[in-house]
Structure 1
Amino acid sequence: MKKKILFIFTNYSTFVKTDFEILSEKHDVIKYQFKPVKGLLKTAVQFIKLKIFLLFNILKFDAVFIWFADYHSFLPVLFSKITGKKSLLVIGGYDVANIPELKYGSLSSGLRKKLTLFSLNNTSLCIPVVENLEKKVQEIAPKAKTKTIYTGYVFDLKEEKRLPKEREKMILTVSITNNRQRFLIKGLDRFRELAEKLPNFQFCIVGVNDEAKPLFNPIPENLVLLPPLNQDELTDYYLKASFYAQFSRSEGLPNALCEAMLYGCIPLGLDVGGIPSAIEKTGLILNEWDINAVIDFIQKNHNKFAREVFSNQIKGKFDLRFRKEKLLNLI
């Protein structure tokens, strides 16, 4: 039976858009954006708008679907609970992060933490995108009901440009970066340090805006900083690079890591968020940052693997059809 779903989000990212399209195939889905703004007054205005919308409209919906637990999830979960509507809350990583020294994560400040924990404990179901996030939810919100459903990919390998095994001595990472917080959260300081220690390899970061470039000073000669690229341009880099690095301090299920593996890059990562779920036994996973262990792995394994190993890992685990089937079964 076709149902009416209220779909609440802050930023209309690729993953959010994908879930909207999945649900819209079978149901009548209405979008509501809680606009991410800075400042208490502007945030209060967004709260008031959302409260008024829910007061007049919540009874029109059969279910509420929310991306991320944060300020914006509190009222939808509360109204759903009061009216007996089903609420589904996707957990992406930021919402269970707490790095106070970087002011990062929904748990990093008092009021925000309370609203986030209420959302986790009172929604009908939390849907973490990877197992490590489910464990985190269970630790911080014991009353929460959880079910992990991976985000997924449509594998359009028209460029199954036959994943060349022999590749340049290049190590790649992708991160849209415009400030110090992002620089540190994504571990780009570690990536820069690695470039200094491995001068015989080319290092490349895609997504660095001009205002963030001074964070890399002095820039090693073998480190290239590129702005955001379109998907075709980025795919060319995935196919050239031998390794892909994900040295994040906090992470959900990293999209670029999965894409890089799909195109045959050897993955390097830390046991943070969804990184180990993507890599599993196909590459390097460190429990903590150890630059010497990374250098040793790179020097021993450049062009040593059949690139299909990494591609098949992603295809077998993160096919979008799996998420589609599971989400639709929940409604």
Structure 2
Amino acid sequence: MSARKPILLYFYPAQSSFVVKDLALMQKEYEVRHQGFLPVKKWQTPLVWLGQLFFLLRHIWQAQALVCMFAGYHSWFPALFGKIAAKPCLIVAGGTDCVSFPSIGYGVFANPVLGRFARWSYQLAAHIAPVHEKLVWQDYTYQTNDFPHQGFRYHCPTLVTPHTVIYNGYNAEFWKQDFTIERQPNSFLTVCAGLNMRFTQRLKGVDLILEVAGRVPEATFTIVGAPEGFKFPNQPANVRLLPKMPLEDLKAVYSAHTFYLQLSMSEGFPNALSESMLCGCVPIVSQVGAMPDLIADTGFVLSQRNIHLLERLVREAMEVENTQKLGQKAREIMASHYPEQRRERGLIGLLQKLVG
């Protein structure tokens, strides 16, 4: 009879791909009891908190540790209960919980109340595990409407909670080019949820992609994630919209495009960019978060949010003679530096160390 696995409590604000992947790897070593913090309307937040309170009162005493994906409203009770019950609470800092962009109302620290709960959570936690160093502190020069620095250490200057960087990890055996699909020349791709919202279009740089498409008619631009029947006003003829799709289908779309665009104003360690590189796409990214470090010398970096610079970069990319070689190098970097096993070892090892 096998010994029962130790119990871990896991909390998250949405069931994103990051959450699903971490849940799967933690379940290898722990019995994970998890709860989402998912109010449909703002007024429901106290009710969801009440549900979280009862969940904690029921399970905290059997648990070895608590894990929160992101800091915010949902992490405060777990961090507080962890402190009271002397059970370590680990917060995985993933992106939005490390930044503030008041110009577009984005980031946990752009909201004074939400920012306060995130700060309290970080202070009460036993440890923080950001997915990249740039989420701890980064100089920010991509656009000048917000702060000159970002990162949770910048927005929480008195914070003393220790941190350990644990990179995201990816399955290079699943994410690989489908060689039965012909890769189209001068083809650019981006994947984005919430395309019908102006806020998202600006945050993810989709507005720039639409503008540069009109300036470079000889290229094609594909955007994945469009709601049914959605179309942009004055959408250029060389822009194609595709719906949100299963991962297997997405792999085929990556394989059919030469370049992948990620021109976000804010990013942590983006999944779609990483997946596209494993499928051999040449990356073009904004100088934001982890992205310039991830792509190294395999692609192109947009230093400022400027359409003229972007057009120059797109045309420069189209002149590259051997994009296949560059794409292969992008895959090799992702496969060797950011495998799933590395994140698994780092996360499980840190939890075991915290439990003692």
Establish whether TM, by shorter chain, passes 0.5.
yes
Number of residue pairs the alignment of both structures matches = 328
Contact kept, 8 Å, 2:176 with 2:279, in 1: the verdict is: no
Contact kept, 8 Å, 2:109 with 2:155, in 1: the verdict is: no
Select the residue among 48, 51, 54 that pairs with 2:50.
48
- How far apart, in 1, do the equivalents of 2:189 and 2:57 lie? 48
Deviation at 1:162, TM superposition (A): 4.7
Answer yes or no: is 1:18 the counterpart of 2:35. no
Return closer, same or farther for 1:159/1:268 CA change in 2, 3 Å cut-off.
Answer: closer
Return closer, same or farther for 1:158/1:117 CA change in 2, 3 Å cut-off.
Answer: closer
Deviation at 1:211, TM superposition (A): 7.3
1:205-248 per-position Cα deviation (integer Å, ceiling 9, x unaligned):
011124753xx320001111111122232222211211110000
Q: Could you tell which deviates more after superposition, 300-309 or 56-65?
A: 300-309
Q: Could you tell which deviates more after superposition, 194-203 or 294-303?
A: 294-303
**In the alignment, which residue of structure 1 is the partner of 2:288?**
272
**In the alignment, which residue of structure 2 is the partner of 1:316?**
336
Show structure 1 runs of 4+ deviating over 3 A: 157-167, 302-305
- How far apart, in 2, do the equivalents of 1:161 and 1:210 lie? 27
Contact kept, 8 Å, 2:37 with 2:48, in 1: the verdict is: yes
**In the alignment, which residue of structure 1 is the partner of 2:187?**
170
Percent of pairs with identical residues: 30
Contact kept, 8 Å, 1:77 with 1:119, in 2: the verdict is: yes
**In the alignment, which residue of structure 2 is the partner of 1:38?**
41
- How far apart, in 2, do the equivalents of 1:143 and 1:293 lie? 44
Amino acid across the alignment from 1:300: E
- How far apart, in 2, do the equivalents of 1:149 and 1:275 lie? 15
Answer yes or no: is 1:138 the counterpart of 2:138. no
Higher helix share: 1
Q: Could you tell which deviates more after superposition, 43-52 or 321-330?
A: 43-52
Select the residue among 292, 304, 313 that pairs with 1:294.
313
Q: What secondary structure does 1:63 align onto?
A: strand
Deviation at 1:203, TM superposition (A): 0.7
**Aligned Cα RMSD in Å?**
2.1
Answer yes or no: is 1:262 the counterpart of 2:254. no
- How far apart, in 2, do the equivalents of 1:179 and 1:158 lie? 29
Return closer, same or farther for 1:232/1:302 CA change in 2, 3 Å cut-off.
Answer: farther
- How far apart, in 1, do the equivalents of 2:292 and 2:236 lie? 29
Contact kept, 8 Å, 2:7 with 2:65, in 1: the verdict is: yes
1:165-210 per-position Cα deviation (integer Å, ceiling 9, x unaligned):
9642210111112312211111100111110111000111011124
1:78-109 per-position Cα deviation (integer Å, ceiling 9, x unaligned):
11112211111111111122222332221121
Contact kept, 8 Å, 1:168 with 1:240, in 2: the verdict is: no
**In the alignment, which residue of structure 2 is the partner of 1:67?**
69
- How far apart, in 2, do the equivalents of 1:113 and 1:163 lie? 48
Select the residue among 79, 83, 89 that pairs with 1:77.
79
